[in-house]
Amino acid sequence: MRIAVVGAGAIGAYVGACLHRGGADVHLVARGAQLAAIQAHGVDVRSPRGDFVARVPATDDPTTIGKVDVVFLGLKAYSYRTAGPLLAPLLRDDTGVVAAQNGIPWWYFHGVRGPHADRRIEAVDPGGATSSAIPARHAIGCVVYCSTEIAEPGVVVHGEGTRFSIGEPDGTVSERCTRFAAAMVAGGLKCPVEADIRSDIWIKLMGNAVFNPLSALTRATMAEIATFAPTRALAANVMAEVLAIARALGSDPEMEVERRLEGAARVGDHKTSTLIDLEAGKPLELGAITGALVELADLGGIAAPALLAIHAAVSLLAMTQGLTER
């Protein structure tokens, strides 16, 4: 199976290294110091599951790779709308694009029936830019339960988690999903193919919608937010609102609020990706995590005052710090 990883940052380089270790024909698309380090020394993975180095081919020019079976997107969700030039040389008509993102994906209403079929979500597909860059027929949903960070260019530290749940928007269990899952498993990762990937999206989003923005606003870790009584109560309110939005739109994720909070508390002193981006002076990924939720709450007729307050505060933080999505 030919696979291209577009955006070989912390998650992308880790996945690419694992796929390479498992025998897949994988190519990384990276840039800058990260690209130079990978080309010179490979991807150096440091993990409690065992350290290894993968000499994966890497380039900043996808035209040198050619058409592939699957593209794994390791970019931030707000970068998808401008990814067309990177993806075009890699795509056949049946190429799958595994979108490993937090939050609500641009393809959310693709492949569903009912009043919202094929509806565009402005927060993640502004003016149709994302769906133009990545037509929904290519989309494969992906929910990531894996923490990684770049210690230095070419060096990826894997903290915990190896699960990448994937699924087609239309609920079918496709050949391209099963083949990609097999390649991931061969590389030492978990990759269940889900018939209802939207439920997985909502379950993870219950946490992302509160812990990501609150961590940026307070500089606190997930465990601190989940164990401090006032923020735990706030988190519970936001999670209940997220579940109400999901159910109003036809999804019924099987997750209780208290169970989700306890899971977050057990993670310990983990910084969310939003807090890491804030500390690094990078744009905050809010459109898919809180912006789309606010839009969907309105669509579903759900009052979500706690969510709206957090979204307003973190959006102001991003604006005043010059860290809005671009």
* 277 within 8 A of 283, measured Cβ to Cβ: yes
Residue 225 vs residues 209, 261, 280, 289: alpha-carbon distances, Å? 13, 10, 21, 18
Specify the pLDDT at position 158: 96
Number of structural domains (the chain) is: 2
Tell which of 166, 195, 224 closes a domain. Answer: 195
Residue 326 lies in a domain: no
Q: What is the CATH number of the domain that holds 252?
A: 1.10.1040.10
Same-domain status, 11 and 134: yes
Q: What is the CATH number of the domain that holds 91?
A: 3.40.50.720
Distance separating alpha carbons of residues 206 and 220, to the nearest angstrom: 18
Specify the pLDDT at position 111: 85
Same-domain status, 161 and 269: no
Specify the pLDDT at position 326: 82
* 6 within 8 A of 73, measured Cβ to Cβ: yes
Specify the pLDDT at position 3: 98
Specify the pLDDT at position 113: 87
Q: CB 300: neighbour CB atoms within 10 A?
A: 16
Q: Residues 6 or more apart from 114 whose CB is under 8 A from it?
A: 250
Q: Which domain holds residue 172?
A: 2-195
Structure tokens at 296: 């969907």
The number of angstroms, rounded, from the C-alpha of 176 to the middle of its chain's C-alpha atoms is 19
Same-domain status, 74 and 176: yes
DSSP string across 80-113: GGG-HHHHGGG--TT-EEEEE-SS--TTTTTT--
Same-domain status, 156 and 239: no
Beta-bridge partners for 6:
29, 73
- Note the pTM of the prediction, 2 decimals: 0.94
Q: What is the pLDDT of residues 27-66, one digit of tens each?
A: 999 999 999 999 999 999 999 999 999 999 999 999 999 9
pLDDT tens for the chain, 326 residues: list them: 999 999 999 999 999 999 999 999 999 999 999 999 999 999 999 999 999 999 999 999 999 999 999 999 999 999 999 999 999 999 999 999 999 999 999 999 998 888 999 999 999 999 999 999 999 999 999 999 999 999 999 999 999 899 999 999 999 999 999 999 999 999 999 999 999 999 999 999 999 999 999 999 999 999 999 999 999 999 999 999 999 999 999 999 999 999 999 988 888 788 899 999 999 999 999 999 999 999 999 999 999 999 999 999 999 999 999 999 98
Same-domain status, 277 and 160: no
Specify the pLDDT at position 69: 98
Active site residues: 204
Ramachandran angles phi, psi of 108, nearest 5° = -50, -40
Q: Reduce the DSSP state of residue 228 to 3 states and report it.
A: coil
Structure tokens at 276: 């890491």
What is the spatial order of strands in the sheet that 96-100 belongs to?
52-54, 43-46, 155-167, 139-152, 96-100, 70-73, 2-6, 25-29, 58-59
